[in-house]
Each structure stands twice: as C-alpha cells, then as structure tokens.
Amino acid sequence: MNQMEKARRFAELHVKGKPLLLYNAWDAGSAKAILAAGAEAVATSSWSVAEAQGYHDGEAIPIELAEHIVGRIAASVDVPVSVDFEGGYSEDDGELAGNIGHLLDMGVIGINFEDRVVKGAGLYEIERQARRISAIRKAAEQKGVELFINARTDIFFEHGDDAAQAVDEALDRGKAYALAGASGYFVPGLVDDALIGRICDGVSLPVNVMVMEGVPSNARLAELGVARISYGPIPYIRAMKTLEQEARTTLNETAAHSKG
C-alpha cells in the first residue's frame, strides 16, 4: 500500500461498535512483533517510546530522536502507522505544521494530538486547541495526505475525581475539534460505562478509549459504540516485566550453578 491507501485503510478501520484494537509499539522491533500477531495497523505510545530510550513522557525525548524511531517503524512495516505525538513539540502553529510535515514525509498516516499544555499546566482553551488542529489539517492537505488526527482530550485526567462533571465540556471539545478537522476523538482516563456511552452518542467522530484499570471489557466498549481501543503503555510495561523476570531467573540459575 502507498501512503494514501494506508491513510484511507486506517480511517476505514474505525467502526463504531467494531473497534480497531491497537496494541501500542515503541520501536521497529515491537512494531514487527505486533504486526506478526495479526495487527492491521501500528500505533505508538509516547510514554513507551520515551521510556525505552531512558526518557520520561511529556516531550522529554528530543524530537529528532523521536522522529528517527518513528521513521524506522514506518520503514519496517507495510501497514498504517499512527504516532502518539503528544502536543506536537511546539506552541507555534507554523512550527507545529512543520513538525507534522516531517512525520508525513516518513510515511506516517495518523497522529494522537492532545489538548494538555505539555510544558505548562492545564489544558488549552477549546478555541486555541481547535486552531492548532486546523493548522495540522492544513499541513496534511498541503502534503496531499488524509492524515488521521486523533484529537485527544485530557479533561478526564484533569477532573478524575468528578468525570461526570467534565462530560459536557468533553462533548463541547469533541464537537469543536471535529469542526477544526479532527478525524477521531480520544478520551483517555474515562472509565465509566454510561459516560463513555454519552461521549460516543454525543460526538460525530469515532471515539478512542484507552485500556486502564476500571475500563470496561473490550466487548462492553464495543456495545457502547467505541470505535478504537488502545493499550497505551501496557504492552511496554508487560514486556519489560517479562524481560526482568527471565533475566532474574537466568542470573540466579547461573549464580547457583557457580556456587555448586
């Protein structure tokens, strides 16, 4: 598939009630393993990409290194690749558009783009974030790519103690982001069945939920109308725990044999 075909295929995989499952990757090796397991697309987790290189999440990993990793993933798998691009590494819309252009040049067809102020506090105002999404859409149009912009809102992390109170603003954000050119709506941190259902019913965009403690089963999320389920840092955490356990077993066996 060429880049445009991958972009169209990725959009088609977002079906309300039949969610696309994304077991998130962090490098070319993990992407190839996930693809070998039967995945139809590959998506990164910014947390995992950063941790795998010794950085913390929150755009601490240098953009040049992040782009290199993304480029290797896109070059290594012949399926749609979406990148968790956090806040786009810039407050300036022009620079943001340039950063998106670099990803598109590497063959990327989708991004997660969040409304949290990565190097500051709180969330961008709705109108400001909508303008940022619009700048990304225009940059993609100039490249001739139907970029899948998965607009992420962190409002449910900001108001985790009262998610119900945040739903109305989440709906307002979803509608504004759709008008600005978003392709999907990502609501990490939301775990309540009824509230997830309200979001799915209240916005025109396909809704993405992230697996975490308290989130309903995948089957239940499908019933609620979710179109995309992602696993965030879970794959990396599980892989590293397995590596540590196997390394410990091997080292302990070797030590015991030496003593014997």
Reported as a pLDDT band with limits 50, 70 and 90, residue 125 is very high
Reported as a pLDDT band with limits 50, 70 and 90, residue 213 is very high
Q: What is the DSSP string of the chain?
A: --HHHHHHHHHHT--TTSPEEE--BSSHHHHHHHHHTT-S-EEB-HHHHHHHTT--TTT-S-HHHHHHHHHHHHHH-SS-EEEE-TTTT-SSHHHHHHHHHHHHHTT--EEEEE-B-TTSSSB--HHHHHHHHHHHHHHHHHHT---EEEEE--HHHHTGGGHHHHHHHHHHHHHHHHHHT-SEEE-TT---HHHHHHHHHH-SSPEEEE--TTPPPHHHHHHHT--EEE-TTHHHHHHHHHHHHHHHHHHHHHHHHHH-
Cα–Cα distance, 189 to 191 (Å, whole number): 6
Q: Is the pLDDT of residue 80 over 70?
A: yes
**Rounded mean pLDDT, 209-222:** 97
Q: Is the pLDDT of residue 21 over 80?
A: yes
* pLDDT tens digit sequence for 168-183: 999 999 999 999 999 9
Q: What is the mean pLDDT of the chain?
A: 96
Which of the listed ranges 33-47, 149-163, 245-259 does the model predict with the highest average pLDDT?
33-47
For residue 203, which of 148, 247, 151, 131 has the smallest C-alpha distance?
A: 151
pTM of the model: 0.95
Q: Is the pLDDT of residue 260 over 70?
A: no
**Rounded mean pLDDT, 112-139:** 97
For 3-234, give the CATH class.
alpha beta
Cα–Cα distance, 69 to 48 (Å, whole number): 12
**Rounded mean pLDDT, 128-141:** 98
* pLDDT tens digit sequence for 225-256: 999 999 999 999 999 999 999 999 999 987 67
